[in-house]
Amino acid sequence: MQLRYQYRVYPTPGQQDMLARSFGCARVVFNDCLLARQNAYAAGLKVSDTDVQRWVVTEAKKAPQRAWLAEVASVVLVQACQDARRAYRNWFDSMSGKRKGRRVGAPRFRSRKDNRQAIRLTRNGFSIRDNRKLYVAKVGELKVVWSRDLPSEPSSVTVIKDAAGRYFASFVVETTDEPLPECDAEVGIDLGLTTFAVLSDGKVIESPKFFRRAERRLRKAQQSLSRKERGSKNRAEARVKVAKAHARVADARKDWAHKQSTAIIRENQAVYVEDLCITGLARTRLAKSVHDAGWGVFTRLLEEKAARFGRVFVKVDRWFPSSQLCSVCGVQDGRKPLSVRRWQCQACGVVHDRDVNAAKNILAAGRAERRNACGGAVSLSV
Ligand SMILES: [Zn+2]
């Protein structure tokens, strides 16, 4: 399976300049590709990928207003074409239903002001030198902090500059992890608001305090930014501060989620999580909560690690009332206010902890869904 390994990179001022040019050229080529495809589409013409690439790279270089494309590595420009092609294709496939999962929007033009600037290189555009530096075509040898070893030869690298002005190299590698020895335990996970998550075996994962602390810091930085005059130097500085606060939150969240998810994957053969449609949630009432973003990272890591170590990961559709359903007898016991932490089932008399009961229901639904993996919804109604 393919995994990303990301490292901090420290380019010299000269290399930063060359990277900036490469980012710029990749962006222009990407946008030119989108434009060419849009125009062709509007005119009802079919264009091939090679046509597009010839127009926006080979032919474009001959025009005076695009001559500077020749200053950067051509592999970067070719990859930008491919990125544009994939963005276009994902959008089409999503519209036609060929692509499953979240709806993919129309490709967006890239801007100089985007928070993330990046170039992608395949094997012929980069190499890792004997001195442990990362050679990037036309940019030179970049200093990398190898925080962990690459498990194998990377097939591509993306060099990124984020909004906080930090540089990263993100490698794609094929991993050859041995699956973990099989075990019997299976677990359902209920993601909560008061606690981060509750497992069907009764284990509680508390929300780390830094979520709140980091949220406060972030809010402060944002307030300070909103008070600065547009276009001023102070505003630019405040924006970097906001970006840095964001980056700190993201890093801390990821570290923590790595630890939690590793423990769960080690201890369980199958993991079932409710599908919260996190992207949908984030846009509505929980928009400002650092919490929901934490769920996204956490479930993604669970899924990734399950695949790596031969475990089962299933997302359970949350269309059944997991906190109303008795996990013992299956009676639906009506809506309960959030303040009700424990309740007794009217039918079988078992006393439930609200969250553990929900997690047990998720476990049951996940098992059913897995047995029924060939498709179709699973009926849980009683
Ligand atoms: Zn019951």
Q: pLDDT tens for residues 55-108? A: 999 999 999 989 999 999 999 999 999 999 999 888 888 888 887 767 778 889
Judgement on whether residues 80 and 120 belong to the same structural domain of the protein: yes
pLDDT at residue number 289: 54
Same domain, 74 and 197: no
**Angstrom distance (rounded) from CA 121 to CA 15:** 16
Query: Where does the chain show beta strands of DSSP type E?
Result: 2-10, 117-122, 126-128, 134-136, 140-145, 154-161, 167-174, 186-191, 197-199, 204-205, 270-275, 312-317, 342-344, 351-353
Centre of ligand 1 to C-alpha 336, Å, is 15
pLDDT at 119: 96
Q: Estimate to the nearest angstrom the gap between the alpha carbon of 130 and the chain centroid.
A: 32
168 three-class SS: strand
Which of the four pLDDT bands, split at 50, 70 and 90, describes residue 4? confident
Q: Are residue 168 and residue 302 in the same domain, yes or no?
A: no
Let me know whether 55 and 133 are in one domain: yes
Give the mean model confidence (pLDDT) for residues 24-40. 94
Residue 300 in domain: yes
Say yes or no: 288 and 140 in one domain.
no
Counting the structural domains of the chain, the total is 2
At residue 336, the pLDDT reads: 80
- Does 213 map to a domain? no
Residue 49 in any domain: the answer is yes
Give the pLDDT confidence score for residue 335 in this predicted structure. Answer: 81
Backbone angles phi, psi at 175, to 5 degrees: -95, 155
Max mean pLDDT among 16-30, 289-303, 312-326 falls in 16-30
Q: For residue 304, tell me if it sits in a domain.
A: yes
87 and 202 in a common domain: no
Give ion ligand 1 contacts, CB < 5 A: 326, 328-329, 331, 345, 347-348
For residue 107, being part of any structural domain is answered with yes
Predicted confidence (pLDDT) per residue in 118-144, tens digit: 999 999 999 999 999 999 999 999 999
Is pLDDT larger for residue 15 or for residue 315?
A: 15
- Among the candidates 150, 174, 198, a domain finishes at 174
Q: Answer whether residue 156 shows pLDDT above 80.
A: yes
Active site residues: 190, 274, 355
Residues 197 and 101 in one domain: no
- pLDDT given for residue 322 in this prediction: 75
Q: Cα(first)–Cα(last) distance of the chain, in Å?
A: 40
Computed over every residue of the chain, the mean pLDDT equals: 86
Does residue 352 sit within a domain? yes
Over 50: is that where the pLDDT of 279 sits?
no
**Residue 252 in domain:** no
Residue 324 resides in a domain: yes
pTM, 2 dp = 0.64
Higher pLDDT, 154 or 288: 154
Same domain, 90 and 194: no
CA separation (Å) from 361 to 184, 200, 321, 357? 18, 8, 9, 6
- Predicted pLDDT at 212: 74
The predicted structure's pLDDT at residue 122: 93
Residues 113 and 156 in one domain: yes
99 C-alpha vs ligand 1 centroid, how far in Å?
40
Confidence of residue 368 (pLDDT cuts 50, 70, 90): confident
Distance 145 CA to ligand 1 centre (A): 56
Claim to verify: residue 106 and residue 147 sit in the same structural domain: yes
Q: Which of 174, 196, 216 is the last residue of a domain?
A: 174
One domain, residues 156 and 9: yes
Domain membership of residue 277 as a residue range: 186-208+258-371
Residues 12 and 129 in one domain: yes
Last-in-domain residue among 152, 174, 196: 174
Tell how far the Cα of 351 is from the centroid of ligand 1, in angstroms: 9
Domain of residue 265, CATH code: 3.30.420
Cα of 343 to ligand 1 centre, how many Å?
10
Model pLDDT for residues 172-229, shown as the tens digit of each residue: 988 777 788 888 999 999 887 678 899 999 999 988 777 777 778 888 888 888 898 8
Is residue 340 classed exposed, middle or buried when 0-12, 13-18 and 19+ CB atoms within 10 A define those classes?
exposed
Kindly state the tokens that stand for 102.
Answer: 């979240």
